[in-house]
Each structure stands twice: as C-alpha cells, then as structure tokens.
Amino acid sequence: METRADDFYPTRLERPVPAFDRRDPVIHSSGNARTEGPLSETELARYERDGFLAFNNFLDADTVKRFRDDLRTYENDDSILRSEGTITEPGKQEIRSVFGIHELSDRFDRLTRDGRILDMVHQLLGSEAYIHQSRINFKPGFHGKGFDWHSDFETWHAEDGMPRMRAVSFSIALTDNTPFNGPLMLIPGSHKTFVPCVGRTPEDNYQSSLKKQELGVPNHRDLQQMADQYGIQAPTGPAGSLIIFECNTLHASNANMSPWPRSNLFFVYNSVENQLQQPFCGNKPRPEFLGNRTNSRALKPLATPDLRRTG
C-alpha cells in the first residue's frame, strides 16, 4: 500500500521505520483560551510534559454508585444486550464492555456534556469537540485480562482515519484503582513520539483486536528506550477518580489477579477540526460504535448536568 500524501503519521508498514517526533502540539489552545480554562498553568505544563493528568474524587460516591447500578441494569435490558457494541462474557449475560454508551445512557450523555469536563477539553484541544468513542467497562476479579502497550491514536489514525493528534481520553474509575486490579499504566512523555507499527491491517481487525491487540503494538526497542527514559506510572485512587490522557500516550494494563473487579467509564473527545477521513490503513472504516462518524457536531455544555437523576 502506498502512503497517502496527506498522511502525517504513516503506520502499519511492511518494514520498520524509525520513530519520529509528533507533528502536532500537545495543547492546542493559546492566549486567553489557554489561560482562562479550568486547568491551571501547572496542570497544563504537566499534561504537556507527561501526556496525562490524574485527579482523585472527580465524581462523588453517589454518582459513582448510580453508574455502577446502571451497568447491572443493562444486563437485564435486551436492547442493550443486543446492541452491536455490547461485549459479554462467553455464554453469560455478564457485560464486559458497552461501546457507544453515550448514545444509550442519558446519564452518560449528560456526563460527556458536563461543563467542567468540556471546558477542560476545549482548553486542551483548542476548539470545540465531539465524542469519538465511549464505553463502560467491567473487568471481573481473577479473570480480567491485560492489554499490551499501545497508542490509541495509532489505531484511530490507521483504522478510523483520524488525521491529526488532537483528541483526548477521559477515564473515570467506578471502583478503586489499586496496584493489584490491573490499573492503567502509562509511559509519561511517550506522547511526544510517534512509533510507526509494522504489519498490514486485515479487514475487520477490530473483531480480534478488542480482545487482544496484535497489530499497532510498538516494537520493544522503542518501548524499552522510552520506559528507560521516562519510567512507568500507574495512578491509583478511590472510585470516582479521573485520568485524562493524550491520544498518543503509550499505555497498557496488566491482568486483574485480585478478587476485586475493576469498572470504569471511558470516553474520547476529538476536535471538530479533526474530523475522520478514510482510514489511513486503506481498509473500510470500523463500525460507528468504535469510531463515530455520524454525530460529530460540537457538544454544548449542559447548564446543570444532574448525574444523580434517574435514567
């Protein structure tokens, strides 16, 4: 496959090519738009350096409980169980992930329009934004598998046609994150480098990659170099804590060997100025529940996003 002239981040190549510096800013706002948002200059500098920020107690315990109760409710909701974006345990009605959850759950939809969150998103992306992907995850105790090191942007670029690095992920813990239940591990600073990955992408790769990612995994030499240089961090904290991470920050998670389940909300904002194109790997686009192409208008903040409301 030939690399497209408009491809700033060629990947899924037949032969290894060296990693290179990202071609986009980390923080896209400037002037007043940068200084007048909710994130302090210290937090912005840390995000620019590390590619992520962690906040404890972002959601209160009552709201956390409502989201967890929702997850249990979904297991008895046929329309959600039948949804293409719902991944259940083999042979059971136990839900592992519900993708596209912001279109199914009014509470989740309201969360994505929370003014506190959108103001941070605008500050980081320097524009209005929409939801590229959302999901609620449930990782059971003892069984939850890990996920190998990867950059989300690398997949979104290759398989969804996201042109530039101008997206940011929010992960809100619905259970305590401990060192033992497979917490998110990040390589701070890795977002500054793009590591092209080797290997042609098969059609419908997502059907296997949601279980175990084999393509889009950076080579060990580059991973080792970045981990040696920057270290690895795994923010822990009580249920309700928030991790914001840049779309190109390398991350992974280990298996959950503890008895304690791990649930979280995960949603990705993409800049309205960074609309999806044809996938750069040359395949047809992935389903909408993985890379939204339909509802890409700017999200407007809710005046009072009451997340405690029923439903």
Q: Give the nearer residue to its own copies in terms of CB position, either 97 or 258.
A: 258
Binding mask 159-188 for its own copies (x = CB under 8 A): -------------------xxx----x---
Q: Which of 234, 239, 244, 299 binds its own copies (CB under 8 A)?
A: 234
Tokens, residue 110: 């309201």
Mark residues 1-40: x for contact with its own copies by CB under 8 A, - for none.
----------------------------------------
- One-letter amino acid at 134 equals S
Q: Which of 185, 153, 165 is nearest to 255 (CA)?
A: 185
Instruction: Quote the least distance from Cβ 88 to its own copies, whole Å.
Output: 20
By DSSP bridging, strand 167-173 and strand 262-271 are antiparallel
CA 29/CA 7 separation, integer angstroms: 23
Q: Please give the Cα distance from 57 to 305 (Å, whole number).
A: 17
> How many other CB atoms sit within 10 Å of the CB of residue 200?
13
Binding residue (CB under 8 A) for its own copies from 69, 257, 295, 300? 257
CB of 173 to its own copies, least distance (A): 17
Identify the H or E element spanning 271: strand 262-271
Q: Which segment (58-66, 247-255, 271-279, 294-302) binds its own copies by CB under 8 A?
A: 247-255
Which has the closest alpha carbon to 192: 21, 14, 9? Answer: 21
The size of the interface with its own copies (CB under 8 A), counted in residues, is: 23
Interaction of residue 250 with its own copies, rule CB under 8 A: no
Q: Which of 87, 227, 272, 302 binds its own copies (CB under 8 A)?
A: 227
**Going residue by residue from 194 to 223, which x/- string records binding to its own copies, judged by CB under 8 A?**
--------------------------x--x
At its nearest, how many Å lie between its own copies and the CB of residue 195?
A: 14
How many other CB atoms sit within 10 Å of the CB of residue 194? 24
> Which residues touch 273 (CB under 8 Å, ≥6 apart)?
127, 166
118 binds its own copies (CB under 8 A): no
* 95-98-100 Cα angle (round to 5): 170
Which position among 224, 275, 278, 295 is part of the footprint of its own copies (CB under 8 A)? 224
Q: Return all residues near 159 (Cβ < 8 A) that are at least 6 apart.
A: 201, 205, 206, 279, 281, 283, 285, 286, 290, 291
Contacts (CB under 8 A) with its own copies, residues 123-162: 141-142, 146, 148-149
Place of tokens 């598998």: 145
Query: What residue ranges bind its own copies (CB under 8 A)?
Result: 141-142, 146, 148-149, 178-180, 185, 220, 223-224, 227-228, 232, 234, 252, 254-255, 257-260
